[in-house]
Chains A and B, each alone.
Chain A
Amino acid sequence: AQTVTQSQPEMSVQEAETVTLSCTYDTSESNYYLFWYKQPPSRQMILVIRQEAYKQQNATENRFSVNFQKAAKSFSLKISDSQLGDTAMYFCAFMNTTSGTYKYIFGTGTRLKVLA
Chain B
Amino acid sequence: NAGVMQNPRHLVRRRGQEARLRCSPMKGHSHVYWYRQLPEEGLKFMVYLQKENIIDESGMPKERFSAEFPKEGPSILRIQQVVRGDSAAYFCASSPTAGGSGGLPQHFGDGTRLSIL
Residues of A within 8 A of B (CB): 32-33, 35, 37, 42-45, 47, 50, 52, 91, 95, 97, 100-109
Contact = CB atoms under 8 A, between A and B. Distances in A.
Interface in B60-117: 89, 91, 93, 95, 98-99, 102-103, 105-108, 110-111, 113
Contact of A103 (B41, B56, B110, B111): B56
Q: Which 7 A-B pairs have the closest CB atoms?
A: A33-B103, A102-B99, A45-B108, A106-B42, A101-B56, A103-B45, A108-B42
Which secondary structure dominates where chain B touches chain A? strand
Contact of A101 (B55, B91, B93, B110): B55
Contacts of B110: 42-44
> What is the size category of the interface that chain B forms with chain A?
20 to 34
Given A43-B110, A102-B95, A104-B35, A97 B103 contact: yes
B69 to A, nearest CB: 14
Contact of A50 (B33, B55, B103): B103
A100 B98 contact: yes
Contacts of A47: 105, 107
B12 interface: no
A32 B110 CA distance: 26
A43 B111 contact: yes
A52 B103 CA distance: 8
Contacts of B105: 35, 47, 50
A102 B42 contact: no
Contacts of A32: 103
B20 interface: no
A106 B8 CA distance: 24
A108 B31 CA distance: 25
Given A35-B105, A105-B45, 9 more contacts: A32-B103, A33-B99, A33-B103, A43-B111, A47-B107, A52-B103, A103-B45, A103-B48, A104-B45
B90 to A, nearest CB: 11
